[in-house]
Amino acid sequence: MLHTFIKYLASNNKRYSDHTIKAYSSDLVQFQNFLSTLYQIDDPARASHHMIRSWLVAMLESGDTPRTINRKIAALKKFYRFLSIRSLIDSDPMLKVTAPKAARHLPGFIKETDMDNLLNEVNFGVGFTAVRNKLILETLYLTGMRVSELTAIKVNDIDFSRKQIKINGKGNKQRMIPIVGRLAASLSDYLPVRDAILQNNDSSAPTFFITLKGKAIYQRLVYRIVHDNLSLVSTNHRKSPHMLRHSFATTLMNHGAELNAVKDLLGHASLAATQVYTHTTIDKIKSIYKHAHPRA
């Protein structure tokens, strides 16, 4: 049953990313091992809701966070729903399982002043690497795209006449992200520098961002570029591309952007995923109130 479910996820690759499939597979194998050890059951399809609850309790007692456990519950829900729809089980045991409440996680972000300092004051130097690295930082911060989306951009995904970039997001869902005048100019200025590298290396890499050897850029390199440059202006312990995504959303919210617009720009499937960014706006309102109200 488990193997059939994983094959189903893999075949439905327009909906499930490789990362999701790998995570679900790992979680379900872990559950299967738990059942085998404690209940001598090798097939998760035979598990009752009592057995599932005991697994959740065991994870809590071992120190797993509610956030981690909820991810594993999501895998189980998908699995048992798959079995139920195909009438491979009599009833769905997950209907009697309640997920633990996860503590609200507020995303970290880089201050606007720090980003302004990095992009306006820091000297990146000259040459291809300098131009590319600064542009990567600008693109992530001014569009909010994921690192996987950035590394997948092709030259023809950028429409300079309409000032927009076509993004292939999670589950192959496409969205269009506008590029402001400053970013559009930087992207355009990068093209001849990129072409020179391709010519020197006799390469034809299709991706917009490339390495010094003319190959398609890879995520680990982008992580290193972001971390090293954010270290110049921020003491935040997390300095990843995803931090720039958080910073993009936070900046928009602090400047009055509508939540639905931010949701569409980020490529979130639901509004709930975007609402976490409202905390910064609330903090800003509190600050304004404290300084402006005579009785505050």
Range 194-217 burial, b when 16+ CB lie within 10 A, else e: beebeeeeeeebebbbbbeebeeb
Q: Is 246 a catalytic residue?
A: no
Distance CA 116, CA 251 (A): 12
Query: What DSSP element (H or E) covers 114?
Result: helix 112-120
Distance from C-alpha of 91 to C-alpha of 254, rounded to nearest angstrom: 47
Candidate list 72, 78, 132, 245, residue with the active-site label: 245
Q: Is 86 a catalytic residue?
A: no
Q: Look up 268 and say whether it is catalytic.
A: yes
Could you confirm whether 245 is annotated as catalytic?
yes
Which residue among the candidates 111, 268, 279, 284 is catalytic per the annotation?
268
Contact (Cβ atoms closer than 8 angstroms) between residue 240 and residue 228:
no
Query: What is the number of residues in the chain?
Result: 296
List 146, 194, 239, 246, catalytic entry: 146
Q: Indicate if 218 belongs to the active site.
A: no
Residue among 71, 154, 170, 279 flagged as catalytic: 170
Residue 146: active-site member:
yes
Nearest one of 104, 109, 105 to 243, comparing CA atoms: 109
Which residues is 207 bridged to in the sheet?
154
Which positions are catalytic? 146, 170, 242, 245, 268, 277
